[in-house]
Amino acid sequence: MALNSLYAQFNQFKVSYNCQKDPWSLNELISHCVQEEERLKSEQCESAHFTLSSSEKVEGKGKYKGKQFSGGPPKKK
């Protein structure tokens, strides 16, 4: 019954459990579920998304047209 409440990501885990000869105790089941959850989390690749605000434009358009990044703030003379 507890296995039926798991998400679809745990389907492989459910199959593995059903192939076991001896059923696990509730504590063993919880322990294995936690391990599987950690394994699933580690498999997910991390990603970052780069966005520009509306005032920052790609070179050739808008406010920064033709300007190049100097690598820092303007130098004092």
Which amino acid is residue 36, in one-letter code? E
Domain edges within the chain: 9-43
- Least confident span in 9-13, 16-20, 65-69: 65-69
* The pLDDT value given to residue 34: 92
pLDDT in tens, 21-73: 898 899 999 999 999 999 888 887 666 667 776 665 555 555 555 555 555 56
Whole-Å CA distances, 10 to 20, 44, 58, 62: 16, 14, 43, 49
Which amino acid is residue 74, in one-letter code? P
Query: In this structure, are residues 32 and 13 in contact, taking their beta carbons and an 8 Å threshold?
Result: yes
Distance CA 75, CA 36 (A): 55
* The pLDDT value given to residue 49: 66
* The pLDDT value given to residue 2: 79
